[in-house]
Amino acid sequence: MKSSIERIPVQGIIAAAGSRTSALTEIGAHGPECVAEIFLAELVSRMSLLDEPEDPAVVQWDLGFADNRIGFVLETGTGTVRAGWAAEPDVVVRQDLPEALQAVFGPAGPHQATREMFVEVPGGRPGLDPGDPLVVRHASAVRAAKLVRDVLSGPRLDLAEIAIRAGADKWGTHWYTDLYERYFGSFRDHPVSVLEIGCDGGESLRMWAHYFSRGVIHRLDTQPGHGGGAPRARIVEGDQGDAASLRTLAERFGPFDIVIDDGTHVSEHVITSFTALYPHLNPGGLYVIEDIGSSYWPSWGGSSVDLNRPDTSLGFVKTLVDGLNHQQLVRDDPYEPTLTDRTVSGVCLHHNIAFIEKGVNTERGAPAWVSAAGPLAASQAPRRRGGASTC
């Protein structure tokens, strides 16, 4: 039997977490137990990037919905979750399920009016040795309670810190995290849909799932998977060089707000992916090409001699810059603007990475008489002596 994570579209839960009324409706539609299971899976996923207690602790979740109480037992350290009630929990967390749902899936804000947290293991008894099992258990329980608090309402980590903890190469190996913060900051608190093309062990998938706390993350990879247990992240098996399979993927999981190409970096594949996926990028979205410096490497389909070849990844991006200014080009024949001419609204290049913005690019060009005459023609026109020149 499929788990709740596999059966229930998490996008609906994320959207509903924007308000208490919508959250109540969504919980009623799917059942509080199923929604609680998704909530706890998300919680465990976020805990995995934080400093967990050295010794596992048993956390009893007591989640309320209407007149019902739903019990789940979470063991920190192992991340295991089971339905039910623990005989002797180390920590008890009690909260209304709709508010708990808003705390993990909703926009930033105070979501702890109904939350109660108790460390059940007594501490502070005089005369006990620091190595006494009761002292050790109490310390572990306190750390577990802090971990829960940090996940639900603690300070947010910046992307560099998340990348370090996830083991992603966006920081350190590359200097991408500061750029991503600049371009993705306005997306962070929204229920975005993100597609990343990649071939690592899933570290960046975990990073993006943690950064976009309300986002749904898909990763195209050569190996199938689920994305490390996060209910909002999944690995989709596919080949970025196969345009037909890319279009099928986009029709199934798109449209996307962000697409990140961190795949093979072979020029042919980069261009194929952009051509297939860009039509499925939402207006206002961003298409990112990482490690675009491979465009200069002949063994990767690039060139360090002919820098403007349109069949190299960077040469292709340069054609997008020309398309961005297609209204200014002087042409002898009528021209029908392409999709990218009309909708690429910005091309931002940094060392080894390109950000392509999708929007509206229909600003009118200069009048024909400006491009026909121009300042050069004016400078060559005869001038009268003793007075100002006239046009």
Selection from 74, 66, 67 nearest residue 92 by Cα: 74
Single out the catalytic residue among 111, 265, 269, 280: 265
Selection from 300, 299, 296, 218 nearest residue 256 by Cα: 218
Distance of CA 364 to the CA centre of its chain: 34
Query: For residues 268-299, b (16+ Cβ closer than 10 Å) or e, as one string?
Result: ebbbbbbebbbebbeeebbbbbbbbebbbeee
Helix (H, G, I), strand (E, B) or coil at 210: helix
Q: What are phi and psi of 128, to 5 degrees?
A: -85, 140
**368: which residues sit within 8 A by CB, 6+ positions away?**
none
Distance of CA 128 to the CA centre of its chain: 48
Where do we find the tokens 């099928």?
248
Q: Where are the beta strands (DSSP E) in the chain?
A: 58-65, 68-75, 80-83, 91-96, 116-119, 193-198, 216-221, 233-237, 256-262, 281-290, 344-350, 353-358
265 part of the active site: yes
* Dihedral sign computed on CA atoms, order 216, 62, 89, 130: positive
Where do we find the tokens 């961005």?
324
Catalytic positions: 265
